[in-house]
Amino acid sequence: MSNFAEFEFWDNVFYNASLAKCRARPRLRGFGPIMRADDVLEKLSELGVNITERTLQKYAKEGLIPMPFRKSAGRGRGRIVDYADDTPAEAYAAWLFLNICRLRYRDVRDVREKALEIEGTDAELQLVIDRFYQSTGMSALVDDWLTEKARILNGLKPGDSGAISTADFWTQGLKGNRIRKITIE
């Protein structure tokens, strides 16, 4: 009988030891593949944009890119930051407007908000058609922002020439949404 009791005792000790925090496997519940800041910065560096993680955070705070989803990784493990799949494209467009066009943060934010309102709708196609006749003001900036985002999402690199056809305008985006179709000339 003492053998059985001793066996049960040690079995319970080993089982409890396996439940200890130091032996627990790290698990990230509720997350599929995530896009970390390093992934976004790596894709941006492939596009020729070298910014820091702090700049990426500032872009998110200012509303120039989508706000990342933040979640605790567990007690004492820090935080998990998950950026949207189209963040590199939006960050590139924001960088382009800030550094090449020399716009202010609030102007780029306004352009992005207007562009996201019409993205994937027939109003975007109408904006492109109208731009052939008149290319001034906010509509030109919105069209440029949407074009740069679509170029990156379609796999074009900066400097590649691309054509937009109004006859065959839409293609499938990353999330199943409609985005502009830009083909290489």
Q: Are 118 and 127 in contact (CB under 8 A)?
A: yes
Is the pTM for the entire model greater than 0.95? no
Q: Which whole number is the average pLDDT over 80-89?
A: 90
pLDDT score, position 54: 96
Higher pLDDT, 71 or 98: 98
Higher pLDDT, 98 or 73: 98
Instruction: Please determine, for residue 170, whether its predicted confidence score (pLDDT) is greater than 80.
Output: no
Closest CA relative to residue 128, chosen from 156, 101, 163:
163
In the beta sheet, which residues pair with residue 184? 162
pLDDT score, position 30: 57
Closest CA relative to residue 48, chosen from 158, 184, 136:
158
pLDDT score, position 133: 59
pLDDT band at 17 (very low <50, low <70, confident <90, very high): confident
pLDDT score, position 89: 92
Q: Which whole number is the average pLDDT over 60-65?
A: 95
Q: Which distant-in-sequence residues (6+ apart) come within 8 Å of 51 by Cβ?
A: 41, 44, 91, 95
Instruction: Please determine, for residue 110, whether its predicted confidence score (pLDDT) is greater than 70.
Output: yes
Other Cβ atoms within 10 Å of 86 Cβ, number: 19
Chain mean pLDDT for the chain: 79
Q: Which distant-in-sequence residues (6+ apart) come within 8 Å of 60 by Cβ?
A: 66, 67, 68
Amino acid at 37: A
Instruction: Please determine, for residue 134, whether its predicted confidence score (pLDDT) is greater than 70.
Output: no
Instruction: Please determine, for residue 60, whether its predicted confidence score (pLDDT) is greater than 60.
Output: yes
